[in-house]
Every structure is written in structure tokens, then in C-alpha cells.
Amino acid sequence: FPTKFIPYQNLLQSHSHVAFLGWGYLIVIGAILFYFVSDAAKQHKVYKATLGILLVTIPLMLISFPLGGYKVFSIVLLAVFGLTSYVLSFRILKDLQGNNTSAKLIRYGIYYYLLSSLATWFLAYVIVNQGKTDLYYNTVYFYLHFLYNGFFVFALFGLLFKIFETQQMIISEKLQKSFFFFLNIACIPAYTLSVLWSTDFLLFNIVGFVASVLQFVSLVFLFKILQQAFSQISWNFTSKWLLKFAVISYIIKIISQILSAFPYIVEKSLALKPFFIIGYLHLFTLGFLSVLLFLILDQLGKINLHKPTSKVGILLFLSGVFITEALLFLQGFLFLLQFSAIKNYSLILLIFSFLMVFGLLVVFVNQFHKERIIKKTL
């Protein structure tokens, strides 16, 4: 839908930066501090100062990007956020407790965050000297790959394994180490999958395919870990379904990456980018990242998903994610197979997207609503 007053690209930049940094990054960092940094270490002034700066920059980005786009003020905010996150990251690495698999996942997640952030500084050089060339887009994809498949994936599974640990679940450490090993050795070479659109060099396809297969092997170990966990979990229905939904989304993501190593899939995905690539990105951010964040916040006791109204809100959100993802991929396949496209597709997609908005509002409002206690008088 056309936007009359605010350029669409500005809204898109605001959406992506605030979603990744404001929602994803801050919640993950908060959970890491809760589970992996001692109360005594958290008293260090660095944490209060850095988190305070980050919490100020995010709402300012929410204003600066729609109004000015990727201009001076937004760039300054991103630079402040980036430099502050460096200080915070190194402090967490210093204070991080434990040497088991969950702690290793967190450490490597932070390493991959630092690696991904290098692209943001290099991007400025590319824009000034070359403009929006293939190098520009591959630099953006470098950032996204190591943020998605590095920081978020490693940190989220590290937090999930830590939750299992704190709830006294007996999970094979050998399985966890195997999961970490294959996931880790696949992460860097898997970046080649992100650059296949710009090259026909077959070696890149081969490296990407091998990396995606290694990720699939890690998925086998994850499945065995979750089998052990589910035999001991005493969570309610909502929490279990959040975990199942996130894992299913992650499985689809891994399978999609395996398929994306084939030249035919690369070609068709590029031609149908508004459906397949956008669908893949939202599958990760909504189906995997956001759903796991809800689960983590619930386990931390920061949100209450046990009330009937909260359950309705979560159901609306999950329904919105499922239906919009189905629409994105279905429309893509209809074009691919040269069938008739869905009429009024954008309007239908917008309508079902509101399920997510309404669901989030229900969950949010319900956090401030106390259940009535009805006393019977004799």
C-alpha cells in the first residue's frame, strides 16, 4: 500500500532496526544477564550505563528513521548503539558464569554479534565509494546472517538449555556438545548461501550446501535433546506450544537453507523475493525468534501467559504468524507454477497481519489486569 506522508523505505528501516535491536537484542541481553551473570557482577556501573543508553537510542530510532530515513541523525544513533553494545558485550563476556554448553552458546552468540556488527561500519565505506552495488547488498547480508544465524540462534538455544538446567531437567551434555559443535562449524561457511544471488561460482553452492547439511545434523541432536526435555517438562499447554511452534519454524528454516543451495531455487527465490525471501525472514523473526522470546519471558516470570485472556492473545498471534506465512509462500508458489494469483492479496495479508497486532495487545493489556477474586458469602 502506498504511503503518502512517510516514504515506505523509511518505514521499512525503522521496522527492521527497532525489531532487531529494540525487541530481539534487548530481550536476549536481559535474559543473558538474568541467567548467566551473578547478582554481584550485575551491580557494576557499566551495566546500568550501557543499558540506559541503549534504551534511549531505540525510541529515538523509532522517530528518526520514519522522518529522516538513513541520514545523519539515524546513523549517529546506530553508531552510539553499536559502540555501547561493544562495551556491554565485552563486560558480559568477562562476567559470564559457567563453561557448559549453554554458556558456550551464549559466548559464541556474542562473538557472532560482534562479527556481524563489523558489516555496519564497512557499509558506510561501501556506500560512499561504490553505492548500492553487489558488495553493498552482500555486506548487508553478512550483517543479517551473523545476527540471525549467529547471535540470535546461539543465544536463544543457550537460554533454552539454561532454562532446562535451572528447572533440574536431566539433559545429556554429550548431545548438547554435539549440537553446539555442528551448529558452530556450519555458521561461518553458511554465509555463502547469502551471496549465491550475486555469483554463479559453483564452489559457493557446494560450500553452502555442506554448511546447511551440517546445520541439519545439529538439528538431529536438537531433536534428541528436546525429546529428553519434553519427557520431564511440567510446563502448561501454552508454554509447550510456544516451544513446539518455535522449533517447527526453525526446522522449516533449516530445510529452506538446504534448498537455497541449489541454483534453480536461488533463481526463483530472487524472482519472487516479495514472497519467498520475505517469507523466510519473517518465519525466523516471528515464528522462531519472537515466539521463543515469549517463552523465555514467561519462564523468567516477566509476563504472565497463564491467564485465559493471555492464552487468547497468544493464539491470535500464532494464528497471525501461521496464516501470513502461508499466504506469502502460497502466493509465491502460485506465481512459480503460473497459476492464478490470490486476488486482493495485499489486503488479505494486511487483515490477517492484524491478528498478530491484536494478539500482542491482548497479551500486553492483560499484564496489567488483575483477576477478580469472587468471594461467596453465606
Does residue 373 have a pLDDT over 50? Answer: no
What's the Cα-to-Cα distance from 172 to each of 33, 100, 159, 177, 178, rounded to whole Å? 25, 11, 16, 9, 10
Q: What pLDDT does residue 130 have? A: 86
User: Does the pLDDT value for residue 369 go beyond 90?
Assistant: no
Kind and range of the H or E run holding 328: helix 308-336
pLDDT tens by residue, 12-49: 889 999 999 999 999 999 999 999 999 999 999 999 99
Does residue 127 have a pLDDT over 50? yes
Burial environment of residue 125 by CB neighbours within 10 A (0 to 12, 13 to 18, 19 or more): exposed
Residues 6+ apart with CB under 8 A from 68: 10, 74
Does 272 score more than 60 pLDDT? yes
Give tens-digit pLDDT for 232-260.
998 988 999 999 999 999 999 999 999 99
Q: What is the mean pLDDT of the chain?
A: 93
Q: Is the pLDDT of residue 171 over 60?
A: yes
pLDDT score for 71: 83
Residue 16 is inside which H or E element, if any? helix 8-17
Q: What are phi and psi of 169, to 5 degrees?
A: -80, 140
**Confidence at residue 378, expressed as pLDDT on a 0 to 100 scale:** 32
3-state secondary structure of 31: helix
Per-residue pLDDT tens over the stretch 315-355 = 999 999 999 999 999 999 999 998 999 999 999 999 999 99
Measured in residues, the chain has a length of 378
| Region 274-280 average pLDDT | 93
Q: Output the pLDDT for position 123.
A: 86
Say whether pLDDT at 72 is over 60: yes
User: H-helix or E-strand containing 251?
Assistant: helix 237-259
Distance (Å, whole) CA 112 – CA 154: 9
Share of the chain above pLDDT 90, in %: 81
- Quote the CA–CA distance of 335 and 326 in Å, as a whole number: 14
pLDDT score recorded for residue 377? 35
